[in-house]
Amino acid sequence: MEYKQLGSSELKVSRLSLGGMSFHTEAQAQPIIYQALDLGINYFDTADLYDKGENEQIIGKLLKDRRQDVILATKVGNQWRKDGSGWDWNPSKDYIKTAVKQSLKRLQTDYIDLYQLHGGTIDDPIDETIEAFEELCQEGCVRYYGISSIRHNVIRAYVQRSNIVSNMMQYSLLDRRPEEFALDHLAEHQVGVLVRGGIAKGFLASKEPRAYLGHELETIHEVQALLDQNLVSPQQRGHLALAYCWQHPAVTSIVVGASSVEQLQQNAEAIRYQPLSAAVYQQLRLQAPLWQYEKHR
């Protein structure tokens, strides 16, 4: 496994990381998390939103004995309603400082390595939100903080006004919107990018495609064929798709989900396929679809 410094922090993150959103039981998560550790993965991502906090509880329990060896990341900002009917966006200082206590308890730890704002708009009380994260860092229960956003105006505001070390964002050959602005801007300001959706819900691997982010099936098939031109077998399609994301210097790690040990192992094999040759990378850049993020500019 390879490791890279996350932005301006002192965290050295594995180039492939594990997202826990799909874990619903301890029995399901245990073999996958233990295999991730064996593969050298040290970054584990969750959120208080997932399964109303049960996801944090599962991950915290399974990683408790390896706490010093791993980087625990979770998110805040989506507050479940008391009746459980859904959640509301709440980036207030009071909520963040209350929610972190519950996350720490569920994760069975005294500190969170990376605490992330789970969304955000330009109409939020951004300075108040930043103040909450800064105070948590000063208090020692959070080491570093970041955001999770693809919105240009939100990214720009946090880069200018805060000490974020990371931004999690969707990025793949079927969603190249970050290339227009975000990736270069974040790299310039030493903010590490944590990629999610690198294989587009499996459509850039072996999963039978359906409409995705407005793309028709024809477009997805074209991108699959483009990947296949550079592979020995279609089974390696997802590896090349992930390697494309790794190629940008802003990208610190790709966070993948896994429903089985085998799926995690397959994703881990992608490490061998990066970096891409300049010719292959340029071919993908020229021929894969590219469009802009129209809102929140």
Among 251, 242, 232, which Cα is nearest to 273's? 242
Q: How many CB atoms lie within 10 A of CB 163?
A: 17
Q: What is the pLDDT of residue 273?
A: 76
Q: DSSP 3-state assignment of 141?
A: coil
Tokens of 5: 């410094």
Q: DSSP 3-state assignment of 246?
A: helix
pLDDT digits (tens, 9 = 90+) for 133-178: 999 999 999 999 999 999 999 999 999 999 999 999 999 999 999 9
Tokens of 193: 């990018």
Residues classed as catalytic: 50
Query: Would you say how long the chain is, in residues?
Result: 297
Do residues 55 and 47 make contact, with C-beta atoms less than 8 angstroms apart? Answer: yes
Secondary structure, 3-state, 39-69: HCCCEEECCCCHHHHHHHHHHHHHHHHHHHH
Domains in the chain: ranges and CATH: 3-287 (3.20.20.100)
pLDDT digits (tens, 9 = 90+) for 259-294: 899 999 999 998 887 788 899 899 999 988 888 777
